[in-house]
Amino acid sequence: MKVLFAGGGTGGHLYPGIAMAGELRKLLPNVEISFAGTTSGIEASEVPRLGYQLHLIPVRGLKRGLSLATIAANFGVLADFAAALIRAIALVHREAPDVVVGTGGFVSAPLLLAAQLMRKKTLIQEQNAFPGVTTKLLAALASEVHLSFEDARRFLPKTRRIFVTGNPARSFEVEERSRARARFGLREERPTLLVFGGSRGARAINNAVLQHLGKITASANLLWQTGALDYERIKGLAKPSPHLWIAPYIEEMGAAYSAADLVLCRAGASSIAELTNLGKPSVLVPYPFATGDHQRHNAKALVTGGAALVVEDDSLAGESAVNTILALLNNSENLRNMGEASRKLAYPDAAHQLAVRIIALAQKH
């Protein structure tokens, strides 16, 4: 059995494919797995590092806007897409996969379309509550479409081939809270706020936390992943405190989640999946420039389920926002209720269920 994964650009599009590939190897040790991606995406380094073959397909995404420069640039993008489609058809013909799995990113569109034109089985895995352009355009021709949020269904054609399976996410080993806090040198008896914005960080979140750092550490522990871009600046400005742990990146993310009572972060699909799988309450700050405003849709799903609060990017630095966060952090009953609501939205076996569906498609004639 051969499976070709198409997706990448960001970790949010790549890692669900990696998770599914890992489950496929558990279920079928002899399965042949390869990935298609671009030289500019995270897959260029991560896929070979993890031991999978990577096929490179040059492709660019359409630019948004109606200016003459944007329209002119998009003619070039469309020409590139046509060339990418030809290369994708050649790749699918050469590799002869039983199933092509699209997880988003620029490269998934030509690969999925090529496979559909060649009557190959295709499975689309959509991470966000507001589906991407590729999912919306190609869902009708896909063998199966798997969503992470029920709310995403309303944006797609009505078909019985759409399922809500969840978003495959990293799995973490849960530790006892006091032990986890001790790992970071934090006081066990204090409530703990975990802040992160991804490996590159989130500047609006970092600036707001820095502005109110003294107020936060006066009553709580702060576990803060700044991202690489802001770390040196923030490290130089942050006043040292025994209640503060700060780093550009958290290697022991399972311990960080275990130590935290509340999480402040963006509303990316991978973060949402991790929060719900672990039953963590959160304050979400949707990235306002995300494509299709999909982070707001992701956050809305958790807010509607009672698992999160939302603070807007442009109001995060205000006194009202920090007061809201600290009030919640010190309300154990509300945190417990939100944590239970978060866990109800989880799909902890998403990667396994998707692997099972991929195998079933491959065996279907």
Asked if pLDDT for residue 201 goes beyond 70, the answer is: no
Mean of the pLDDT values across residues 324-350? 97
Quick: pLDDT tens for 168-191.
Answer: 988 888 999 999 999 999 999 999
Mean of the pLDDT values across residues 4-18? 92
Q: Do residues 245 and 222 make contact, with C-beta atoms less than 8 angstroms apart?
A: yes
Quick: pLDDT tens for 67-98.
Answer: 444 434 444 456 678 889 999 999 999 999 99
Distance between CA atoms of residues 329 and 158, nearest Å = 42
Distance between CA atoms of residues 52 and 132, nearest Å = 26
Mean of the pLDDT values across residues 53-77? 58
HSE toward the beta carbon, residue 191, CA cutoff 13 A: 19
Distance between CA atoms of residues 48 and 31, nearest Å = 17
Backbone angles phi, psi at 225, to 5 degrees: -95, 110
Q: What is the DSSP string of 45-109?
A: HHHHHTT-EEEE----PPPPS-SHHHHHHHHHHHHHHHHHHHHHHHHHHHH--SEEEEEESTTHH
Quick: pLDDT tens for 231-262.
Answer: 999 999 998 999 999 999 998 999 999 999 99
Distance between CA atoms of residues 222 and 190, nearest Å = 10
Asked if pLDDT for residue 11 goes beyond 60, the answer is: yes
Beta-strand pair 262-265/192-195: parallel
* Confidence band for 269, pLDDT divided at 50, 70 and 90: very high
Of residues 172, 191, 168, the one with CA closest to residue 251: 172
- C-alpha distance from residue 202 to each of 41, 95, 142 (Å): 19, 40, 35
Please name every residue paired with 43 in a beta bridge, in sequence order, or none if there are none: none
Asked if pLDDT for residue 111 goes beyond 60, the answer is: yes
**For the chain, what percent of residues have pLDDT higher than 90?**
78
Higher pLDDT, 290 or 184: 184
**For the chain, what percent of residues have pLDDT higher than 70?**
93
DSSP 129: S
